[in-house]
């Protein structure tokens, strides 16, 4: 390998390290320099697409994957990632032929790692061609030991799926602040939090307030605004397929730490239900409480949250069916009365394939692993100039 390619290889390795620490800009710069120096193949373009994803630039993500397919049209990995990116951009009809081509190419692969296995499953699910997974020795172990009979088995079952190559390991990749040492756990068990039952019991009252709000909204200007807003992001280089798109919209009771009193006045019981949780529901630096609306047929593309010192909570309020949330390698459908608690710094996406809007109450809580002192230090840290702005 000549000196130029050796340098390109080093840069590509630096880019992968930057991806691991969720530094999208450093990763993008390293991969771009590696490409400029002649580092060959489609994989570097795929890696560059991950950097664009971390930066929220989904159009550039698609462009990088298109370049990967230009370099190697037979790349199964690039083809399936491109299909996923198209779905994330709301271009489902364009995605299907790429999924089909990728699945056809996958049949000829002699070795399929965990990443390829997951891409195959996602593509198969999308085109309705999912098949039973090949048997593995851990399947008999799971049957013999009753794995799955107890709700506490969920993480152990994931370990078996990882061991069998049926799942890809996802890790926390916050886009803004990483607190080292916190576990990369996709979903948390609601029963491990003492407030979830009381909150779920309030769902009918919360639903009644939302119904009144929606009836009132029909007589006035829409109270829901796009969740991803350009306002306040000028000059930040933010690109997102749902930027200023009302397909994903929000009605805030608290927005980035600021109470919206006129909205709280319309939903006092909802706000009281959140207040009853206590200080856990006010994580630094700027928590929000909102009704999230996802329109019929809309999809929120894969993305990562900013801070791993908090968890995101969903209380489903209006569920039309055919709605789901994927966090890492777990996909779950919302259910009436079921609270979701998850780490949004792990790649996640959501979709509504029904004919009606879906409404979920969203709020944040502190990570339970953080002590009172750790929470205090994080809170004080984000009071520093330049850090308070989310």
DSSP state string for 273-298: HHHTT-GGG--SS---EEEEEE-TT-
Tens digits of residue pLDDT in 139-164: 889 889 999 888 788 889 889 888 88
Query: Using CB atoms within 10 A of its CB, is residue 295 exposed (0-12), middle (13-18) or buried (19+)?
Result: middle
List the domains of the chain with CATH numbers. 3-127 (1.25.40.10), 132-169 (no CATH), 187-381 (2.60.120.330)
> Average pLDDT, stretch 34-49?
90
Residue 239's pLDDT band, with cuts at 50, 70 and 90, is very low
Cis amide prior to 285 (ω within 30 degrees): yes
> Average pLDDT, stretch 335-341?
89
Tens digits of residue pLDDT in 97-151: 998 898 888 888 877 777 888 788 888 877 775 455 567 888 889 889 999 888 7
Tens digits of residue pLDDT in 18-30: 887 778 888 899 9
- Do residues 272 and 209 lie in contact, with contact meaning Cβ atoms separated by under 8 Å? no
First-last CA distance in the chain: 45
- Do residues 82 and 91 lie in contact, with contact meaning Cβ atoms separated by under 8 Å? no
145 secondary structure, DSSP code: T
Task: Give the whole-angstrom CA distance, residue 328 versus residue 384.
Answer: 32
Of the candidate ranges 5-19, 26-40, 177-191, 263-277, the one whose mean pLDDT is the lowest = 5-19
Q: What is the mean pLDDT of the chain?
A: 87
The pLDDT value given to residue 1: 52
Residue in 126, 130, 199, 186 with CA at minimum distance from that of residue 158: 186
Q: pLDDT above 90 covers what percent of the chain?
A: 48
The pLDDT value given to residue 56: 74
> Average pLDDT, stretch 211-238?
69
The pLDDT value given to residue 263: 94
CA 203 to chain centroid: 25
Q: pLDDT above 70 covers what percent of the chain?
A: 92
Residue in 162, 381, 157 with CA at minimum distance from that of residue 285: 381
Strand partners, 37: none
- Do residues 382 and 388 lie in contact, with contact meaning Cβ atoms separated by under 8 Å? yes
β-strands 330-333, 323-327 pairing:
antiparallel
Burial state string for 1-10 with b = 16 or more CB within 10 A and e = fewer than 16:
eeeeeebbee
Tens digits of residue pLDDT in 54-64: 787 888 999 99
């Amino acid at each position: 390998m000549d000196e130029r390619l050796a340098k390109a290889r080093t840069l590509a390795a630096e880019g992968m390290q930057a991806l691991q620490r969720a530094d999208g800009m450093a990763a993008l710069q390293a991969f771009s320099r590696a490409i400029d120096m002649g580092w060959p193949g489609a994989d570097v373009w795929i890696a560059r697409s991950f950097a664009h994803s971390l930066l929220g630039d989904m159009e550039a993500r698609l462009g990088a994957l298109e370049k990967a397919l230009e370099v190697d049209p037979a790349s199964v990995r690039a083809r399936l990632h491109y299909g996923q990116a198209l779905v994330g951009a709301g271009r489902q009809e364009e995605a299907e032929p790429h999924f089909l081509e990728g699945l056809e190419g996958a049949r000829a692969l002699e070795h399929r790692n965990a990443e390829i296995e997951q891409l195959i499953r996602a593509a198969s699910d999308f085109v309705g061609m999912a098949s039973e997974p090949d048997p593995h020795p851990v399947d008999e172990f799971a049957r013999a030991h009753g794995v799955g009979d107890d709700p506490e088995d969920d993480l152990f079952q994931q370990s078996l799926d990882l061991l069998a190559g049926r799942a890809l390991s996802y890790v926390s990749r916050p886009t803004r602040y990483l607190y080292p040492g916190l576990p990369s756990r996709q979903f948390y068990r609601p029963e491990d939090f003492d407030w979830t039952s009381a909150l779920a019991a309030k769902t009918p009252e919360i639903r009644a307030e939302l119904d009144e709000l929606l009836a009132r909204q029909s007589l006035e200007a829409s109270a829901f605004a796009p969740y991803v807003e350009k306002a306040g992001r000028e000059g930040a280089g933010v690109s997102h397929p749902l930027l200023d798109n009302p397909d994903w919209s929000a009605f805030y009771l608290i927005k980035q730490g600021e109470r919206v009193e006129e909205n709280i006045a319309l939903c006092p019981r909802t706000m009281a239900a959140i207040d009853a949780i206590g200080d856990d529901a006010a994580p630094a630096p700027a928590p929000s409480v909102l009704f999230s609306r996802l329109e019929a047929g809309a999809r929120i593309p894969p993305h990562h949250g900013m801070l791993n010192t908090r968890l995101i909570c969903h209380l489903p309020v209006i569920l039309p069916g055919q709605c789901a949330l994927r966090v890492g390698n777990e996909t779950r459908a919302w259910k009436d009365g079921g609270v979701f608690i998850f780490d949004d710094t792990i790649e996640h996406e959501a979709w509504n394939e029904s004919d009606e809007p879906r409404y979920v109450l969203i709020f944040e809580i502190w990570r339970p692993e953080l002590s009172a002192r750790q929470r205090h230090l994080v809170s004080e840290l984000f009071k520093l100039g330049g850090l308070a702005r989310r």
